[in-house]
Chains A and B, each alone.
Chain A
Amino acid sequence: MTSLWFLTAFILMLWIFLSILRLILGPTAPDRVVALDTVNTLVVALMIILAVAYNQIIYVDIAIVYALLSFVTTLYIAKYLEGGI
């Protein structure tokens, strides 16, 4: 069962690398923000999977805090792109 969680984490890591490719290639600034938002969602999922893989429950709390902080960051960048700041 442990190798199943590590396999899942590995595949999620591959999807994160695919999204980072868009972060590098993206022609406009909103494209890069979309890629960053996707990476944030995938990292939250990866943290929850790794909490089970390493059997450390405290990792899930870090995932919750990361989800909320990445939301604030996304809103901040969006407000900046809009010209509000």
Chain B
Amino acid sequence: MWTDYLIYIFLGIGLTFNGLGSIGLLRFPDVYTRLHAATKATTFGSIFTSLGVVTWAFTQLYLTGSYANLSLALHTIIAIAALILTNPVGAHAIARAAHRSGVLPKYAVVDRLEEVKK
């Protein structure tokens, strides 16, 4: 089927962005830049690897007509929705907690939040 190529593209994009997120976690200098790299890149990458699974499930549904594949696609979409809704909120909570526990940005030019707190 032609959707095989779509699955390859989705999995390729997903693995690339997940890898960039992990490498950014190792390479960046302080916690805020690491959070920036890791959260955005891995959320995007995980969405795309899951979209590959959704595409595979709909292809199998079309080819075999078994409704178990429809269940797989819907549950994967629910998992994607859970990731999209919860990951940015978790990142926000970590960044806020890091700033409040006294970890300062390493190469920051201005820190307006610190000025407001004084």
Q: Which residues of A are in contact with B by a Cβ distance under 8 Å?
A: 1, 4, 8, 11-12, 15-16, 18-19, 21-22, 28-31, 33-35, 37-38, 41-42, 44-45, 48-49, 51-52, 57, 60-61, 63-64, 67-68, 71, 74-75, 77-83
Contacts and interface: CB of A to CB of B under 8 A. Distances in A.
Instruction: Report whether over half of chain A's contact residues are helix, strand or loop; otherwise say mixed.
Output: helix
Given A51-B53, A52-B57, A64-B75, 12 more contacts: A15-B15, A16-B22, A28-B103, A37-B94, A38-B42, A41-B46, A42-B46, A67-B82, A67-B83, A74-B90, A81-B101, A82-B101
A19 B42 CA distance: 11
Interface of B: 4, 7-8, 11, 14-15, 18-19, 21-23, 25-26, 31, 34-35, 38-39, 42-43, 45-46, 49-50, 52-53, 56-57, 68, 71-72, 75-76, 78-79, 82-83, 86-87, 89-91, 93-94, 96-98, 100-101, 103
